[in-house]
């Protein structure tokens, strides 16, 4: 387990509360417990911001909970049994305390006690969400990104970067949330060298056709001003981030090249 001092340094560097850093740290160890168990590692795939933060980009804003695509082959009884074993493994490996608080088909809540110790009768919870949506491309497997000084090593399974990009390109042609736009900007700028442009373009076209969406390289002209007004408030928890205008310009320049 890391020290209070390391938590405090990360809190300053990331511009987030120290309790949030503790939760991010605990999540990493929980992910190790999950992906070290074959029955979960073969059936759960990190998706969305969880994939970007834990599998792809060390400098992507860290997330405090976990989102997974859940394979249909993972039944409810196996999920609960394996999660219970995973939290036990995570506690043993890390020195943290974990307790499976509740499990449902769509979400599990895991109580933890980390370097800050117990603070109340109701300890903080990590939420793991499970969505029964199959992936479109072969998931990627790689090392868990663990930005702390201890050795939390495991391989995680994540939605392919091309699929993450394609999903957000389709959203960009509709009415995306500020976070969707930020994520698309991050993938296109920080992941440009890793992204297979052909796969991304082809999947975006397929997804758009299924949804009846016409792909565009620019935001809807009437929606863009609304998003710009909401931009700073929607992304206040993500530091740093560029202005809406700069982010939009960079995205649309890159989309024009796809």
Residue whose pair of structure tokens reads 């394996």 in the numeric block: 82
User: Which residue's structure tokens are 């959203």?
Assistant: 171
The whole domain housing 44 covers 4-158
Residues 26 and 143 in one domain: yes
How many domains, in total, are found in the chain? 2
What is residue 121's predicted lDDT score, i.e. its pLDDT?
67
Q: Are residues 22 and 120 in the same domain?
A: yes
- Collect the ranges in the chain with pLDDT lower than 70: 121
177 and 222 belong to one structural domain: yes
In a shared domain, residues 22 and 150: yes
> What confidence tens digit (pLDDT) does each residue in 120-129 have?
767 899 999 9
Residue 173 to residue 60: CA distance in whole angstroms: 23
Which of 117, 141, 158 is the C-terminal boundary of a domain?
A: 158
Q: How far is CA 211 from the centre of its chain?
A: 24
Sheet harboring 155-158: ordered strands across? 97-103, 107-113, 125-131, 66-70, 44-46, 155-158, 140-143
Per-residue pLDDT at 122: 72
Query: What is the spatial distance between Cα 44 and Cα 74, in angstroms, rounded to a whole number?
Result: 8
Q: Do 225 and 145 belong together in one domain?
A: no
Structure tokens at 66: 């976990």
Task: Please give the model's pTM, rounded to 2 decimal places.
Answer: 0.95
The secondary structure of 88-149 as a DSSP string is HHHHHHHS-EEEEEEE-SSEEEEEEE-TT---SSS--EEEEEEE----SSPPEEEE----SS
Task: Examine the domain organization and report whether 40 and 143 are in the same domain.
Answer: yes
Final residue belonging to a domain, choices 158, 182, 205: 158
* Paired strand residues for 112: 98
- Judge if 153 and 173 occupy the same domain: no
**75-78: long-range contacts, CB 8 A cutoff, minimum separation 24:** 76/105, 78/39
Do 59 and 126 belong to one domain? yes
């Amino acid at each position: 387990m890391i020290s209070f001092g390391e938590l405090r340094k990360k809190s300053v560097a990331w511009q987030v509360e120290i309790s949030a850093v503790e939760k991010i740290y605990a999540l990493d160890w929980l992910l190790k417990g999950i992906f070290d168990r074959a029955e979960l590692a073969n059936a759960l795939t990190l998706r969305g911001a969880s994939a970007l933060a834990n599998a792809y980009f060390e400098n992507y804003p860290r997330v405090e909970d976990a989102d997974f695509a859940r394979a249909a082959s993972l039944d409810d009884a196996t999920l609960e049994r394996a999660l219970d074993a995973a939290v036990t493994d995570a506690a043993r490996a890390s020195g943290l305390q974990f307790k499976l608080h509740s499990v449902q088909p769509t979400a599990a809540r895991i109580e933890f006690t980390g370097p800050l110790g117990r603070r109340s009768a109701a300890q903080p919870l990590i939420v793991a969400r499970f969505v029964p949506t199959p992936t479109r491309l072969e998931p990627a497997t790689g090392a868990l990104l663990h930005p702390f000084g201890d050795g939390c090593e495991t391989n995680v399974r994540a939605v392919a970067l091309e699929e993450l990009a394609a999903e957000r390109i389709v959203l960009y042609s509709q009415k995306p949330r500020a976070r969707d736009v930020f994520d698309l900007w991050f993938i296109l700028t920080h992941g440009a060298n890793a992204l297979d442009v052909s796969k991304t373009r082809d999947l975006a076209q397929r997804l758009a056709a299924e949804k009846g969406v016409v792909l565009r390289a620019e935001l809807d002209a009437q929606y863009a001003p609304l998003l710009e007004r909401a931009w700073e408030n929607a992304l206040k928890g993500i530091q740093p981030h560029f202005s809406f205008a700069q982010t939009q310009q960079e995205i649309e320049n890159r989309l024009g090249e796809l």
